[in-house]
Amino acid sequence: MRRPIVRLSLVSLLLLGVLSGIRAQEAQPGKDEEDNGYSQISIFAKAIELIRQDYVDGNKTSYHDLVTAAMKGMLSSLDPHSQFMDPNDFRDMQDDTRSRFNGLGIEVSMKNGLPTVVTAMEDTPAAKAGILSGDQILRINGISTERMDLQDAINVLRGPTGRKVTLTLLRPSTKEIKDYTLERAEIKVQSVKGVRLLDAELTGPFKIGYIRLIQFNEPTAEELSKALDELQKQGMQALILDLRNNPGGLLNSAVDVCAQFLPPNTKVVSTQGRIASQQHDYSTSGVKKERPSFPMTLLINEGSASGAEIVSGALKDLHRAILVGETTFGKGSVQNVMQLPDGSAVRFTTAKYYTPGKQVIQGNGVTPNIRVAMTAEQERALFALRNAENVKPEDEKSIIKAKDPQMLRAIDALKGVMIYAQQNAPKAEAVKK
């Protein structure tokens, strides 16, 4: 004979605050009768008590464990970027903006139900091993990721330094499945790298600067400004800004990066959600350091995401730069993080990003003006170059010429723009007179 359920009232009391908050909504006219918050929470509470009463393993049925599991399932069912974070996960997320954490150096997102590499950050174990954007993680330490939520995957990838993690990856472009055994390390992300004038053998009579942005964190815009100052002192006439494999970061940082190239008070991105508070326009600062409007190209690929897509979309739509490469990742949504009383937090999508030309980034990405694909072999060569130490300039030049068609097309595009400007400058001057 089934024992009576005796704890339903306890759960109901625990949920009373939630119920009182939604009962007012139930009374609204036209509300769907089946979507009644009070009745649905009651069903949920009953399910918890049935599990606590009869489930075979009693050590798995604490209220904390069951409610936490339900919260994880609820958030992950919404979209790949919404998630529940326990207190430790929440602290780890806060560490991201400080440009330092322990792990493998992989930025991941859920795609087609599997944790997928957005990018392997430079100078990290993942990048040095040759892991590429788009690689799908099938197993972590032999455990299938098919039913693993994003936060659980991230928790395994991160952790104490010196410990090894084995990843089984599928590379969709080649259908290759391969195991990678990586050792966790402290990841220190430098946001601006590779600042230099490109070799004259590549650029001809023009001085073309090059800057690579690794991600968008708190000091990125300031570091970029200093890099531009240095290149201008060297006589830079045009710029290649490399956003390939940049996974994004802070929204304000991306807007401040746009401000280095656009007039003051220029709208670079907007957000739109269900409620009025989620409708925002983000514009460059009203104060800008004066810079010449030199020709620009941006290098993008599938590993360019979030903040990198905001910058790419803005500079493309506002005709400030030519985009060269491949369509970006397509991560263009806004997540709000709300801390809960126990130190945990819920992160959920509240809006989508729109470029100045009203293009939706989420799921679509930003398309280049000049599409140039790279093979997996070329990408591996580029990764090896970026993660090598003490690379000689002549070796770097040879790799660019042989293995980086995107860079070569970007250089050609800038040379074409500058040649055209030179040829038409006297005509423009004559018209003025």
pLDDT tens, 210-268?
999 998 988 899 999 999 999 999 999 999 999 999 988 888 999 999 999 999 999 99
Per-residue pLDDT band at 181 (split at 50, 70, 90) = very high
pLDDT score recorded for residue 33: 58
100 — pLDDT class (breaks 50, 70, 90): low
Return the higher-pLDDT residue of 393 and 416: 416
Q: What pLDDT does 366 receive?
A: 97
Look at residue 291 and tell me whether its pLDDT is greater than 50.
yes
- Asked if 327 and 367 count as a contact pair (C-beta separation under 8 A), the reply is yes
Helix H, strand E, coil C: the string for the chain is: CCCCCCCHHHHHHHCHHHHHHHHHHHCCCCCCCCCCHHHHHHHHHHHHHHHHHHCCCHHHCCHHHHHHHHHHHHHHCCCCCCEEECHHHHHHHHHHCCCEEEECCEEEEEECCEEEEEEECCCCHHHHHCCCCCCEEEEECCEECCCCCHHHHHHHHCCCCCCEEEEEEEECCCCEEEEEEEECEEEECCCEEEEEECCHHHHCCCCEEEEEECCECCCHHHHHHHHHHHHHHCCCCEEEEECCCCCCECHHHHHHHHCCCCCCCCEEEEEEECCHHHCEEEECCCCCCCCCCCCEEEEECCCCCCHHHHHHHHHHHCCCCEEEECCCCCCCEEEEEEECCCCCEEEEEEEEEECCCCCECCCCCCCCCEECCCCHHHHHHHHHHHHCCCCCHHHHHHHHHHHCHHHHHHHHHHHHHHHHHHHHHHHHHHHHC
As a whole number of angstroms, the distance between CA 99 and CA 191 comes to 8
pLDDT of residue 94: 65
Rounded percentage of the chain residues whose pLDDT exceeds 90:
51
Whole-number percent of the chain with pLDDT over 70? 87
Fold classified for 87-188: Pdz3 Domain (2.30.42)
Per-residue confidence band for 180, with pLDDT thresholds at 50, 70 and 90:
very high
Residue-averaged pLDDT of the chain: 85
Range with the largest mean pLDDT of 229-238, 289-298, 342-351: 229-238
User: How much is the pLDDT for 217?
Assistant: 87
pLDDT attached to residue 382: 81
pLDDT at position 390 is 66
Question: What's the pLDDT tens digit per position in 44-89?
Answer: 999 999 999 999 998 999 999 999 999 989 998 898 888 898 887 7
Distance of alpha carbon 307 from alpha carbon 150, whole angstroms: 20
pLDDT for the residue numbered 170: 95
* Report field, pTM of the whole predicted structure over 0.85: no
Query: Does 183 have pLDDT greater than 80?
Result: yes
Q: Give the pLDDT score at 7.
A: 40
β-bridge partners, 144: 139
For residue 4, the model assigns a pLDDT of: 40
Residue 91 pLDDT > 70: yes
As a whole number, mean pLDDT of residues 158-165 equals: 85
Name the segment(s) of the chain with CATH classification 2.30.42.10: 87-188
Residues forming the active site: 306, 317, 331
Q: What is the pLDDT of residue 12?
A: 45
Q: In this predicted structure, what is the pLDDT of residue 76?
A: 86
The mean pLDDT of 326-353, rounded to a whole number, is 90
In this predicted structure, what is the pLDDT of residue 19? 46
Instruction: State the Cα–Cα distance between residues 377 and 359, nearest whole angstrom.
Output: 32
| Residue 130 backbone zone (phi > 0: left; psi -120 to 50: alpha; other: beta) | left
The pLDDT score that the predictor gives to residue 34 is: 67
Of 192-196, 261-265, 281-285, 424-428, least confident by mean pLDDT is 424-428
- Of 12-21, 119-128, 200-209, the least confident: 12-21
pLDDT of residue 388: 67
Which CATH number is 192-423 given?
Answer: 3.90.226.10
Considering the chain, tell me which residue range(s) the CATH 3.90.226.10 domain(s) occupy.
192-423
Give residue-wise pLDDT tens across range 3-16.
444 344 444 444 54
- Is residue 64 exposed (0-12), middle (13-18) or buried (19+ Cβ within 10 Å)? exposed
pLDDT surpasses 90 at 146? no
